[in-house]
Amino acid sequence: MLDKKKRVVRKKGKIEKQKDTTAGKVIKKQEEIQEKKLETKRRGRPAKIKVKETIKDMMEHKVVASEEQTKIESVKYYPVQMEEKNGKKHIETMPKPERKETEIPERYNDNKIVLLARDPYWCYAYWDIAPGYMEEKAREARKTGNYNLIIRVYDVTDIVFNGTNAHKFIDIPVNGDANNWYINVWASDRSYLVDLGFKTQDGKFILIARSNVVTTPRDKVSDKTDEEWMLVEEDFDELLKLSGAGKFGSSEKFKMRIEQELLSGSGAVSSFSSPVYKQEAKGFFLIADTELILYGATEKDAKLTVKGEEVKLKEDGSFSLRFHLPDGQMNLPIEATSSDGSQKRSINITVNRKTE
Amino acid sequence: MREPDGYLALILHAHLPFVRHPEYNDPMEEYWLYEAITETYIPLLNVFNKLIEDGVDFRITMSLTPPLISMLRDPLLQDRYVRHINKMIELVEKEVIRTRFEPHFNRTAIMYREKFYNARYVFSEKYNKDLVNGFKQIQEAGKLEIITCGATHGFLPLAYHKNSVNAQIKVAVDHYIENLGRRPRGIWLPECGYNPGDDEILKTYNLRYFITDTHGIIYGTPRPKYGIFAPVFCKSGVAAFGRDMESSKQVWSAKEGYPGDYNYREFYRDIGYDLDYDYIRPYIHESGIRMNTGIKYFKITGKVGLGDKQPYDPRAALDKAAEHAGNFMFNREKQVEHLHRIMKRQPIIVAPYDAELYGHWWYEGPAFLDFLIRKIYYDQQTVKLITPFEYLEKYPKNQVLTPCYSSWGYKGYAEHWLSGENDWIYKHLHKTYEMMKELTEIFIKKPLSQIEERALKQAAREILLAQSSDWAFIMKTQTMVDYAVKRTKVHIHRFYRLYDMLKSGNFDDGYLSEMEWKDNIFPNIDWTAFNF
């Protein structure tokens, strides 16, 4: 009994001690952050560090979660016999079929090497070289003495590879009798290509087969923050019709949405492309579409709404909105309210477009 | 009613590989389907129908994969399911009697009796053995959005030859139209496996959106402004929706998630193993091997061995499911409120799960969904259910970015399908695509004899069947490896035989007919889908 108590006390002491150190760390971290903030202030760039850290934690967590998920998913194929119970694995209950249908060729001798990207840092290559062809290449290599079978991994990101212009390459020795290899590449989000070949004593490389190009996935958030926005409407009416429109909304409703979106979007949206209606473009063609520019001005500090959506005024109190003008009638109620809310002015514009 | 602060898109991915063996009387692997019908598909249909009946408005999205639709509509499997459920009813009647002096088991036996009778009624009478029709009706009522998937759930990032990606998509879309009478609007990429550029192929078939895992969007280029809480457009104009981790974890995790609650039913204690051999013998596999029956009397209980599990209490379990539904909704409300403040637009929370998780793995899952949907409808106005397609209608303007190569599998990329246990398959799979392309190039130009056309169609079926990601998945998890290896090899073998027939002109009509009889998926398959 006493013993237990003692242990608890000791434990407590330990915890408190730990707390102290973590508290110290926290303070230090805050200082660091402060420091970083100041630094970014000087440079005039926003701090991004924090976001990245959170995402990194998230991904670590995700790996654990994906493992659990895999276990649960596998239950789907698992209703029949359970190993835990008797230590036995699944027993084949189907009698052997008469035809030998599980026989497949062991190899194809097609002198090919194929590369697959498995994850940000691993690629997998398999190859199938006809023994005769392999021997032919080996003879060539033997001329200068010893030689090794290697995989040469090239970084060919954003280039058309001509055999010599890779950003970088490394050689990986492989067993002579191997026909596949997992390759640990040095960077994520890069494009790779591999050559299988013999490397001779004097450093010469004799090519046996060249693979396709693969790009490894990213494993972090992109540094690129330029936003581009898109409005997918081309073919939309057609698509909607094809998909059996009506259940989840009509195209009219959809068009209204677009208008609202364009009106309200001036804050977050940097650019958008207006949809264009094409009439079969074969040789001689004609394309026509309309856009509408709505502009005006009010008091600098007034609050302005168009179709009930607030519009940001320019510094001088003017405003200008540009949007796609589809067929049909469009109502544009414009309302300005003075900064103290005491006065209101409104203008209603109706536009009709008809295409024939 | 006020505008909600944001939306929740519940997505259930319903899939089983094509397992159908007319050549055997009682193939074990077909039980994957029977169990899913009794425990997942019928309970979900019941939940949806009851909601409609009670006037509860809701939205849910489900992918019904082509193999699953094919099996659910296959007369042989339909009849075998009836045989199966009849046997189960016979067993449960005996169970109700056997447990009559043990009230703590008897109440559960009575519950199963009700459920099995209901399953038989729903399956045989209500839907005349065609559950796909049941789902179709709910889609037509505007509550359910059914999306498609790869033709045989092939894992696309490791396809290598784009013609197989094209075939997986084309055949799936054709099959959807044939079975559901309209075009699909969205697709569940098998295993959420996305490889940049594959969206171009989706675009060709007018698919408007797909789902990726969280990092597919988060690691996209450029950086996503709204994270995963708004869709993005690929350069092709096809939208991608990213999976929300928070809501995912609450259900997927066996440790932290709801399904691990001690009151819920224990999956691993089944009377197929527990009861006296002579008594249970007629209800296990015909070979006499013990197997699951679906009658399970125990609850998870705690961190105890299988022998120390306590009796299951259906009422207490249902109460728990209601509590968890409340908790799930509360968390979504908070999440959505918070996001709405930051984003200044209504966020969408995308919560995808395996459909079979609900009911088969988490027995109370369908009840949880029922409670959740009702609570969302009656108890609050912060969050509303939506389908991804409706959200696109509401917010048609979205950021353009290239999502990152990703999957929802182990570690988030392709490792689960490409490892020491299963990497040998790719050499063969890739070869078959190459050879199929060769065949299409030869035969697309010339008039076909009847047998040539039959052989070409069968060749396309065999290739697709070999591609099911399920086989590689099973090889890796080491559950039914022999079966998965056999299936992979058999389809490849059959393809080579067909290739030889087509190239040589020497057709073995008997063998071809046998293949058509066994692998009868996609009767109207477009074999030219491989000409890409």
Distance CA B381, CA B460 (A): 50
Residues of chain B with C-beta less than 8 angstroms from the C-beta of A68:
252-255
Q: How many residues are there in chain B? A: 532
Quote the percentage of chain B above a pLDDT of 90. 93
A17 pLDDT above the threshold of 70: no
Nearest CA in chain B to A220: B219
Do B445 and B501 have their domain in common?
yes
Q: How far apart are CA B124 and CA B137, in angstroms?
A: 16
| Residue the block writes with tokens 């016999």 | A81
Q: Looking at this predicted complex, what is its ipTM? A: 0.94
Does B225 have pLDDT greater than 70? yes
Task: Give contacts of A80 with chain B, Cβ < 8 Å.
Answer: 28-29, 31, 285, 291-292, 480
Indicate whether B400 belongs to any domain: yes
Tell me which chain B residues have a C-beta less than 8 angstroms from the C-beta of A266.
none
Residue A10 has pLDDT above 60, yes or no: no
Q: Do B376 and B504 fall within a single domain? A: no
Q: How many Cβ atoms sit within 10 Å of the Cβ of residue B43? A: 25
**Which domain-ending residue is among B371, B394, B411?**
B411
Does residue B405 sit in the same domain as residue B431? Answer: no
B518 and B488 belong to one structural domain? yes
Asked whether residue B213 is domain-assigned, the answer is: yes
Contacts of B393 in chain A (CB under 8 A): 248-249, 253-254, 257
Residue A102 or residue B62, greater confidence? B62
Strand-pair category, A122-128 with A180-184:
antiparallel
pLDDT band (50, 70, 90) for residue B493: very high
Q: Are residues B376 and B519 in the same domain?
A: no
* pLDDT at A2 > cutoff 70: no
Cβ within 8 Å, pair B489-A221? no
Q: What is the pLDDT of residues A137-147, one digit of tens each?
A: 999 999 888 99
Q: Are residues B370 and B515 in the same domain?
A: no
- Is B337 among the domain residues? no
Q: How far is A279 from chain B (nearest CA, A)?
A: 20
CATH number of the domain to which B441 belongs: 1.20.1430.10
Same domain, B390 and B445: no
Nearest CB among B357, B397, B410 relative to A261 is that of B397
Structure-model confidence comparison of residues A12 and B260, the more confident one: B260
- B352 lies in the same domain as B494: no
The beta strands (E) that lie in B176-272 are given as: 186-188, 209-212, 232-233, 239-242
Gap between the Cα atoms of B473 and B487, Å rounded: 13
Find residues 367-426 of chain B whose CB sits inside 8 Å of chain A.
387, 389-390, 392-401, 404-406, 408-416, 418, 423, 426
Asked, for residue B101, whether it belongs to a domain, the answer is: no
Are B222 and A73 in contact (CB < 8 Å)? no
The pLDDT of residue A98: 64
- Express each pLDDT in A187-196 by its tens digit: 999 999 999 9
Residues 304-343 of A with CB under 8 A from B: none
State how far residue B447 is from chain A, nearest Cα, in angstroms. 31
What are A173-226's pLDDT values in tens digits? 999 889 999 999 989 999 999 999 999 989 999 999 999 999 999 998 888 888
Give the pLDDT score at B344. 86
pLDDT at residue B96, as a whole number:
97
pLDDT band at A311 (very low <50, low <70, confident <90, very high): confident
pLDDT of residue A41: 42
Q: Is B292 helix (H, G, I), strand (E, B) or coil?
A: coil
Q: Is the pLDDT score of B3 beyond 80?
A: yes
Tell me the residues of chain A between 168 and 207 that have a Cβ less than 8 Å away from chain B: 180
| Domain co-membership, B147 together with B228 | yes
Indicate whether B176 belongs to any domain.
yes
Amino acid of residue A44: G
- Which of B142, B396, B430 comes nearest A261 by C-beta? B396
- Average pLDDT for B215-238: 94
Q: Do B496 and A219 touch (CB under 8 A)?
A: no
Lowest mean pLDDT among A143-157, A237-251, B348-362: A237-251
Q: Across the interface, which of A73, A102, A261 has its CB nearest the CB of B354? A: A73
Helix (H) or strand (E) holding B9: strand B6-14
Q: In degrees rounded to 5, what are phi and psi of residue B61?
A: -120, 135
Q: Does residue B328 lie within any of the structural domains?
A: no
Is residue B168 included in any domain, yes or no? Answer: yes
- C-alpha distances in Å from residue B333, one per residue of A251, A305, B321, B383: 30, 29, 18, 6
What the block records as the tokens of A123 is: 């690629």
Split at pLDDT 50, 70, 90, the class of A332 is confident
| Contact residues, B window 57-96, toward A, CB-based 8 Å cutoff | none
- Residue B451 domain boundaries: 418-530
More confident residue, A262 or B444: B444
Q: Work out the pLDDT band at A254, boundaries 50, 70, 90.
A: very low
Q: Are residues B353 and B240 in the same domain?
A: yes
| pLDDT tens by residue, B246-301 | 888 888 887 778 999 999 999 999 999 999 999 999 999 998 889 999 999 999 99
User: Does A32 score more than 70 pLDDT?
Assistant: no
Report pLDDT digits (tens) over B419-470. Answer: 999 999 999 999 999 999 999 999 999 899 999 999 999 999 999 999 999 9
Among B396, B411, B426, identify where a domain stops. Answer: B411
Q: What is the pLDDT of residue B128?
A: 98
| B contacts of A93 (beta carbons < 8 Å) | 26-28, 285, 287, 289
Domain boundary among B379, B411, B443: B411
Residues 239-258 of B with CB under 8 A from A: 239, 245, 248-249, 252-255
3-state helix, strand, coil in chain B (%, to 5): 55, 10, 35
Note whether B369 and B514 are same-domain residues.
Answer: no
Looking at the complex, does the CB of residue A250 fall below 8 Å from at least one CB of chain B?
A: no
For chain B, the domain total comes to: 2
Tell whether omega for the bond before A120 is within 30 degrees of 0, i.e. cis: no
A82 CB within 8 Å of a chain B CB: yes
pTM exceeding 0.90: no
Q: Which two tokens stand for residue A75?
A: 């239950």
CATH number of the domain encompassing residue B16:
3.20.110.10
The answer to whether residues B173 and B240 belong to one domain is yes
Nearest by CB to A119, from B414, B430, B480: name it.
B414
- Taking alpha carbons only, the member of B157, B153, B181 closest to residue B17 is B153
B144 occurs within a structural domain? yes
Is A81 within 8 Å of B289 when comparing Cβ atoms?
yes
The yes-or-no verdict on residue B223 having pLDDT over 70 is yes
